[in-house]
């Protein structure tokens, strides 16, 4: 591990070697079956991370107009960008049409009407996939399921026929196919197998091919091992894609795509933070770090647990509640965390912070934004090396 002394904490530390390895394995496994991967840039929109993914030939999956704009800035070709979201504004739809992205993943009949209007107004044709809510249990935390009737996402099956008819009756819309995304941090393959079976039925029942559909986007959601990231740093992409190869029964030549976020970047990042105080409570001890929920919101948002290590101290272990400095009682990284006896000044690493950490940064309490530091070949990269990776020459970043 690189020498980190002297770098002001807290910061995100990204292991670019692990990132490259992960992305190249995922791409190779997808390519075996002719599948294409879009990177869900909301997982981590860091310029260096995104550029490495772009260089591996992945497309981008966006959930806002600004993400579409950012993906274009990062050099993702417009023909590889998809855009989903239940609440796209008129401006965002206009942007997607003007930039001629691959397709809009449309989430309701109401949105279709607006897309149609805007396309007509500007004399453009809108490529659209319909995001379907398949009513499938994803076996994950209830706050991150997306494919159930109670969730706001996608077009539910009773409304799908109507949406397909709007597409086929409208000159402004070019229907490309179906889109699904059933949730996040899904660690077993059962839900994906059920998704395949559901997709097969929907494709047949609604005769998607007759509507001109030839593209199937299955979304993302593949999980990572938050409990043992050091021994399980790369998800099993081989088994993941094999499930689809085995269970999807679609017309030959169907263009199958995925939108992976967490599984590509989650394990390549960690938060490096310093212990400000070890405080005695009643019946417990608190380790108070200089990172808080403002740098990693997942524990306070959905009781997520991250593996935490003390890289300074060794020896006798104790149990601590590891907490941040932010004025919220949920600003807790872990309760009863076993650490070697920890003192002020120790360096703590919170692992598996490559996804949904930096991109969820809060400005709450007017906290400073934690910077990113990049590591490769066992050392920290210089500004020039970072700029080379971004592919913008070495003048743009101070």
Ligand X SMILES: *Cc1c(COP(=O)(O)O)cnc(C)c1O
**Contacts (CB under 6 A) with ligand X, residues 352-381:** 355
- According to DSSP, the β-strands at 332-340 and 317-323 are antiparallel
Cβ distance 236 to 248 under 8 Å? no
Interface segment toward ligand X; rule CB under 6 A; list 35-43, 91-99, 116-124, 157-165: 35-43
**Nearest-CB residue for ligand X:** 261
Least distance (Å) between residue 121 CB and ligand X: 26
> Could you say whether residue 297 binds ligand X (CB under 6 A)?
no
Using CB under 6 A, which of 133, 184, 267, 294 touches ligand X?
A: 184
> Could you say whether residue 220 binds ligand X (CB under 6 A)?
yes
In b/e form, how buried is each residue of 67-88, taking b as 16+ CB within 10 angstroms?
bbebbbebebebebbbbbbeeb
User: How many whole angstroms from its chain centre is CA 154?
Assistant: 18
- For 281-366, where are the E strands, in sequence order? 285-289, 308-310, 317-323, 332-340, 347-350
For 205, residues 6+ apart whose C-beta sits below 8 A from its C-beta are: none
> Could you say whether residue 43 binds ligand X (CB under 6 A)?
yes
> Could you say whether residue 84 binds ligand X (CB under 6 A)?
yes
Cβ distance 320 to 346 under 8 Å? no
Least distance (Å) between residue 42 CB and ligand X: 5
Least distance (Å) between residue 154 CB and ligand X: 9
Interface segment toward ligand X; rule CB under 6 A; list 213-221, 229-237, 247-255, 292-300: 213-221
> Could you say whether residue 40 binds ligand X (CB under 6 A)?
yes
CA separation for the pair 25, 21 (Å, rounded): 6
Cβ distance 82 to 102 under 8 Å? yes
Report residue 192 as tokens.
Answer: 């994906």
Least distance (Å) between residue 226 CB and ligand X: 13
> Could you say whether residue 268 binds ligand X (CB under 6 A)?
no
> Could you say whether residue 224 binds ligand X (CB under 6 A)?
no
Using CB under 6 A, which of 177, 261, 299, 358 touches ligand X?
A: 261
> Could you say whether residue 42 binds ligand X (CB under 6 A)?
yes
> Could you say whether residue 107 binds ligand X (CB under 6 A)?
no
User: How many whole angstroms from its chain centre is CA 185?
Assistant: 10
Least distance (Å) between residue 263 CB and ligand X: 6
Interface segment toward ligand X; rule CB under 6 A; list 66-74, 87-95, 261-269, 385-393: 261-269
Question: What is the helix (H) or strand (E) element at residue 82, kind and residue range?
Answer: strand 81-84
Residue in the block written with tokens 């935390």: 141
For 3, residues 6+ apart whose C-beta sits below 8 A from its C-beta are: 379, 380
Residue 263 or 300: which CB sits closer to ligand X? 263
> Could you say whether residue 235 binds ligand X (CB under 6 A)?
no
Cβ distance 101 to 68 under 8 Å? yes
Using CB under 6 A, list all residues that contact ligand X. 40, 42-43, 61, 63, 84, 181, 184, 219-222, 259-263, 355
């Amino acid at each position: 591990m690189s020498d980190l002394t002297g770098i002001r904490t807290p910061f995100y530390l990204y292991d670019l070697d692990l990132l490259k390895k992960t992305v190249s394995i995922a791409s190779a496994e997808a390519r075996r079956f002719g599948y294409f991967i879009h990177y869900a840039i909301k997982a981590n929109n860091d310029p260096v991370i995104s550029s490495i993914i772009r260089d591996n030939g992945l497309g981008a999956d966006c959930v806002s107009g600004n993400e579409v704009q950012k993906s274009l800035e990062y050099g993702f070709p417009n023909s590889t960008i998809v855009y989903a979201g239940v609440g796209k504004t008129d401006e965002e739809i206009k942007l997607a049409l003007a930039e001629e992205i691959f397709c809009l993943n449309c989430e309701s009949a109401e949105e279709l009407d607006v897309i149609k209007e805007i396309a007509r107004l500007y004399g453009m044709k809108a490529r659209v996939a319909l995001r379907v809510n398949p009513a499938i249990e994803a076996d994950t935390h209830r706050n991150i399921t997306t494919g159930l009737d109670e969730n706001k996402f996608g077009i539910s099956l009773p409304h799908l026929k109507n949406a397909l008819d709007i597409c086929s009756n409208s000159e402004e819309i070019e229907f490309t196919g179906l889109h699904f995304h059933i949730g996040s941090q899904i660690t077993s393959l059962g839900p994906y197998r059920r998704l395949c079976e559901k997709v097969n039925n929907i494709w047949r029942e609604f005769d998607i091919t007759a509507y001109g559909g030839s593209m199937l986007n299955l979304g993302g959601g593949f999980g990572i091992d938050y409990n043992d990231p050091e021994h399980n740093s790369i998800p099993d992409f081989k088994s993941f894609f094999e499930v689809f190869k085995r269970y999807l029964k679609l017309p030959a030549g169907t263009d199958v795509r995925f939108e992976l976020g967490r599984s590509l970047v989650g394990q390549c990042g960690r938060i490096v933070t310093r212990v400000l105080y070890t405080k005695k409570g009643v019946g417990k001890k608190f380790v108070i770090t200089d990172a808080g929920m403002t740098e990693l919101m997942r524990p306070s948002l959905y009781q997520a647990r991250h593996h935490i290590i003390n890289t300074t101290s060794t020896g006798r272990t104790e149990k601590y509640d590891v907490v941040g400095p932010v004025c919220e009682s949920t600003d807790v990284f872990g309760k009863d965390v076993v650490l070697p006896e920890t003192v002020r000044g120790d360096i703590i690493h919170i692992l598996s912070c490559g996804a949904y950490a930096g991109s969820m940064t809060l400005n709450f309490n007017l906290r400073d934004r934690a910077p990113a530091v990049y590591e490769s070949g066992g050392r920290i990269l210089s500004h020039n090396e970072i700029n080379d990776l971004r592919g913008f020459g070495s003048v743009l970043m101070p």
